[in-house]
A = this chain, B = another copy of it.
Amino acid sequence: MNFDGEEKLNIKKKEELICPVRYFLEVAGGKWKSSILCILSDCECHRYSRIKRKLNGITNTMLAKSLKELEADGMLERIQYNEVPPRVEYKLTEKGEGIMPILEDMAKWGFKNVGEDAFCGKCNSIK
């Protein structure tokens, strides 16, 4: 780890630089994103309505927004089938898969430190 990087920052303004941890938090943080990623890692493909049901409480506003941002960050892929009624499926990209081990470590750490009765049905969890 290194925190004395100020001197080397001649190329860009500090404000434009992105801290890698902050980047992680931006991509996978917030109220719903980690849960969505965990759900998607569960099986190949998921439909919008299935994700919504599993999340149990999320609004359309937030789900659509979160999915769009995750897609923009390259974490998942949106596959649209032109059928009636419409069908849309979401699946993790390789980048998205790559974040899962860390999310699992976070969950493990959380379990160990919050007590074993911590469990959230709305959300991701490790048995």
Asked if A5 contacts B121 (CB within 8 A), the reply is: yes
Q: How far is the CA of A39 from the CA of B2 in the complex (A)?
A: 9
> Are A34 and B17 also in contact (CB < 8 A) when A99-B109, A120-B5 are?
no
Copies assembled: 2
Q: How far is the CA of A126 from the CA of B18 in the complex (A)?
A: 13
Q: Which of B21, B118, B124, B127 contacts A106 (CB 8 A)?
A: B21
Asked if A127 contacts B2 (CB within 8 A), the reply is: yes
Asked if B102 contacts A105 (CB within 8 A), the reply is: yes
Asked if A107 contacts B21 (CB within 8 A), the reply is: yes
Q: How far is the CA of A126 from the CA of B39 in the complex (A)?
A: 30
Name the B residues within 8 Å of A34 (CB-CB).
21-22, 25
Q: Which of B3, B25, B106 contacts A102 (CB 8 A)?
A: B106
> Are A125 and B20 also in contact (CB < 8 A) when A102-B106, A109-B98, A109-B99 are?
yes
- Enumerate 6 A-B pairs (CB-CB under 8 Å) in ascending A order: A1-B127, A5-B120, A17-B121, A21-B110, A98-B109, A101-B105
Q: Report, nearest first, the 5 A-B pairs whose CB atoms are least far apart.
A: A20-B110, A19-B120, A19-B123, A6-B121, A23-B110
